[in-house]
Amino acid sequence: MSLPLSTSKPTVPNPINDCVYQATFSPHDPSTLISVNSSSHCQLWDIRSPQPMQMDFISHNGLEVLSCDYNKYRPSVIATASVDKSIKIWDLRMIPDLKHQFLPHGDQIGPSPLNKLIGHDFAVRKVTWSPHASDVLLSCSYDMTCKVWKDQMDDNARFANANRLFHGHALVNGFDKHREFVIGCDWSLWGSGFAASTGWDEMVYVWKAT
């Protein structure tokens, strides 16, 4: 399988061979998880239910979605990252049930996110919410960098204007010591503000992110 770097949509959709790039459990509910795949779908699952799939929506306009994570403080808020170079923030309570399986395959628009973070130059390989703050995210990318973001929308703004996007002051820090694709990153649970990242340069860096 080639690296998911392209921002071109597949010419021949093949749902049977969709690659699931990540699945992550909710930190708020032991039976709930989300997953993202190569056909741009983000799916919510409940492992207790006879019909486990609870929600299915297109999150990045038909392009591959490589990563997802739950906000550690807001149970319904998640983030997704894609080959379209963006990170999108969603409130699952505000996703309409569009029944994409009954729509023409060409309909790849999907709902509007609460926030959209733009700053990477290539596909965003991983996104993870901070365990110490409800509005801070960490991402890494094939552009050989890591970035720290601040989700600037509070709950009142989310419900008042769900289509409002911040592209300017959301980026608060970056790390550019890697010399190859950065494919993994995570926050320290014990040292507030510390992060680790790793890449194809065979290096693991620990650095102060916030």
State pLDDT tens for residues 158-171: 444 444 444 457 99
The domains of the chain are located at: 18-102+114-208
Q: For domain 18-102+114-208, say whether CATH 3.30.420.10 is its number.
A: no
Across 62-93, b (16+ Cβ under 10 Å) vs e yields: bbbbbbbbbbbebeebbbbbbbbbbbbbbbbe
Q: How far apart are CA 62 and CA 137, in angstroms?
A: 24
Q: How far apart are CA 194 and CA 163, in angstroms?
A: 32
Average pLDDT over residues 116-126: 97
Q: Which of 44-53, 103-112, 167-176 has the highest mean pLDDT?
A: 44-53
Q: Considering the chain, what percentage of its residues have pLDDT values greater than 70?
A: 80
Average pLDDT, rounded, for the chain: 87
Average pLDDT over residues 105-116: 77
Dump pLDDT digits (tens) for 58-74. Answer: 999 999 999 999 999 99
Can you give the pLDDT at residue 101? 52
Can you give the pLDDT at residue 10? 55
Dump pLDDT digits (tens) for 1-13. Answer: 567 776 666 544 5
| Adjacent-strand bridge partners of 206 | 196
Can you give the pLDDT at residue 12? 46
- Helix H, strand E, coil C: the string for 82-102 is ECCCEEEEEEHHHCCCCCHHH
